[in-house]
A and B are shown apart, each in its own frame.
Chain A
């Protein structure tokens, strides 16, 4: 069985695999954002409030990619 037959045999809900791939980047990104915020708060605890606001903004921008990943799974391709 060569590669093309295997590819032809794959069916079902392939979008889930696409979402899994799309979630890798945002996962790493959110991890970095939160980790760096914790580092920053550990160094300067008095800035915690300001850093948390920035953290949420950063997370919101990063995780948007994951949600685009979910959304494209529902776009019907013919």
Chain B
């Protein structure tokens, strides 16, 4: 057994090299954390701190203004490619959401706010998969919160405008509920209509974007780790994580469009419920 003493240091050396390799330049695997959504502050404007995600939000606002302005600046009867794309988006909100759920008259009344919500959410979501931006503008609480408050105020305004103070009575005490159950139903309706609606609107959008970003970071951070830090046989594991990352990127496009649609359609549904006639 003369080989054993030689083999042991060799093995030890290998283990040591592997460990140092794994530990080199922060070579341990770094998973995503919530710190992603609280990046360092770049500069302040009038005492208001601005960071990376704010810049992404500014960029997407500029993008949506430019796209809608350029798309509808010189309208032609026979639309070009770009104009027909913008028309498709605007027509989708008008026909697919506003007229479909609210009817022609009410739909046109609330069309501006529904269109604004749809395009704002869509453009802020889609930055999550655009290279070098890579974070959704809606992935910090401010934007979903603002939009949820806008939606909340809109449906309460719509209800008061149509029914006056009866709106609150209608929404808290539905017709046909027996007297003894009325207090319980009123409390449930109060919580679900006036508390849970805006909260879930905000959480749905925010968490979709947060979770989507986390998944993408997890996949691509793992790929980077396997390819460049771990090296060797680990590269084989990096291939599926890269494939998963690609698949999730496509999935995120779907989620971005879907969440814009869902946010808009829920606002329309809340308005519809507020203006509905009680029978």
Which residues in A have some Cβ–Cβ distance to B below 8 Å?
A: 53, 56-57, 59-61, 63-64, 67-68, 70-71, 74
Contact = CB atoms under 8 A, between A and B. Distances in A.
Nearest to B199: A68
Contact of B207 (A57, A59, A60, A70): A70
A23 to B, nearest CB: 11
User: 7 closest pairs, A vs B, by CB?
Assistant: A67-B207, A64-B200, A60-B262, A67-B203, A70-B207, A67-B204, A64-B204
B100 interface: yes
Interface string B187-222: 000000000000010011011101100000000000
B211 A70 contact: yes
B195 to A, nearest CB: 12
15 contacts: A53-B100, A56-B258, A56-B265, A57-B265, A57-B269, A60-B204, A64-B200, A64-B203, A67-B200, A67-B204, A67-B206, A67-B207, A68-B200, A71-B206, A74-B34
Interface of B: 34, 96, 100-101, 200, 203-204, 206-208, 210-211, 258, 261-262, 265-266, 269
Nearest to B258: A56
Given A53-B96, A53-B101, A56-B261, 8 more contacts: A53-B265, A56-B258, A57-B269, A68-B200, A70-B210, A70-B211, A71-B207, A74-B34
Majority-rule SS of A interface residues:
helix
Nearest to B196: A64
Contacts of B211: 70
A56 B264 CA distance: 11
Nearest to A71: B203
Contact of A67 (B208, B258, B266): B208
Contacts of A67: 200, 203-204, 206-208
Contacts of A57: 262, 265-266, 269
A71 B261 CA distance: 22
Contacts of A63: 204
A29 B132 CA distance: 37
Among A56, A57, A67, A74, the most chain B Cβ lie within 10 Å of the Cβ of A67
B207 to A, nearest CB: 4
Contacts of B204: 60, 63-64, 67
A27 B184 CA distance: 28
Among B34, B101, B269, the most chain A Cβ lie within 10 Å of the Cβ of B269
A64 B158 CA distance: 24
A67 B203 CA distance: 6
Contacts of B200: 61, 64, 67-68
A64 B198 CA distance: 11
A57 B265 CA distance: 7
B41 to A, nearest CB: 21
Contacts of A53: 96, 100-101, 265
